[in-house]
Amino acid sequence: PGETQIESDRRMILEKISLLKGRLKQIDRQNETQRKNRTELIRVALVGYTNVGKSTIMNMLSKSEVFAENKLFATLDTTVRKVVIENLPFLLSDTVGFIRKLPHHLVECFKSTLDEVREADILIHVVDVSHPNFEDQINVVNETLKDLGARDKETIVVFNKIDAYVSPETLNEDEEPVKLTLDDFKKSWMASNNAPAIFISATLKENLDEFKQLLYDKVVALHTQRYPYDKLLY
């Protein structure tokens, strides 16, 4: 008997999947070659939960136009730009936003962007501090980084969207409800975490100079360690 319509459709879909997997492998090989050719520059990767403002920060630092939209997985591929702060160039990658329990069938699609995270020298962990569950999102990202073997990398935590922060209600020592201000959270975070942190608004350009200085200090320290006689530093 001849092939039914359903069987024909299934065969065409499987052929399409096979073709796309082949293209993904080709892209992975190309990206791996490109990464090998970038070894002389410090590599910095933006990481964070989806929709926290990574692409906006990428655009601000690199003065380029990376697609930035308030949607899940607005950034699906990896964008890499050469950035120069003062006299020091480095590479900055914008990666796909992490989510809780990323479906296994999507992991292969995101392999290229996850490789950028694994091979980065410094991570910028961007947090949407205006989100009511931002602390849970921090934990999801940290667990994902741990799974990738990247949890112990040099990291700067950037709390973004401070202009939209809403003080949550919590209980004080007397079990009385109080509002947790942004300053209260800053003090609490700084007291209990070793990773350097900065609080900014990328859209309103608040505290961006402090952020750039912190990033520059981290990059130049690593660059000096790796290339002590680099004329760019003198």
Note the pLDDT tens digit of each residue in 98-118: 766 665 455 555 666 678 888
Class of domain 41-233: alpha beta
Cα–Cα nearest to 36, from 85, 83, 91, 88 = 91
Q: Which one has a higher pLDDT value, 68 or 79?
A: 79
DSSP lists the bridge partners of residue 157 as 125, 197
Q: 3-class DSSP state for residue 56? A: helix
With contact defined as beta carbons under 8 Å apart, do 41 and 34 qualify? no
Angstrom distance (rounded) from CA 174 to CA 164: 29
CA distances, 162 to each of 29, 95, 182, 204, 219 (Å): 39, 22, 8, 9, 25
Which range among 188-192, 200-204, 215-219 shows the weakest confidence by mean pLDDT?
Answer: 188-192
Q: Per-residue confidence at 43, pLDDT binned at 50, 70, 90?
A: very high
Which range among 115-124, 146-155, 221-230 shows the weakest confidence by mean pLDDT?
Answer: 221-230
> What b/e sequence results for 19-44 when a residue is b if at least 16 CB atoms lie within 10 Å of its CB, and e otherwise?
eeeeeeeeeeeebeeebeeeeebbbb
pLDDT at 87 over 90: no
Q: What is the mean pLDDT of residues 79-91?
A: 86
% the chain with pLDDT above 70: 74
For tokens 């209260």, the residue is: 184
For 132-172, give the DSSP string: TTHHHHHHHHHHHHHHTT-TTSEEEEEEE-GGG--PPEEE-
Q: 3-class DSSP state for residue 28? A: helix
- State the pTM of this model: 0.74
With contact defined as beta carbons under 8 Å apart, do 140 and 100 qualify? yes
Element (H, E) at 218: helix 208-226
DSSP state of 103: -
Domains of the chain, residue spans: 1-37, 41-233
Tokens describing residue 90: 């480095």
Angstrom distance (rounded) from CA 188 to CA 219: 27
Angstrom distance (rounded) from CA 145 to CA 155: 11
Q: Per-residue confidence at 81, pLDDT binned at 50, 70, 90?
A: confident
Tokens describing residue 94: 């914008």
Angstrom distance (rounded) from CA 111 to CA 119: 12
Cα–Cα nearest to 134, from 74, 33, 49 = 49
C-alpha angle 61/158/144, rounded to 5°? 105
Q: Which one has a higher pLDDT value, 134 or 110?
A: 134
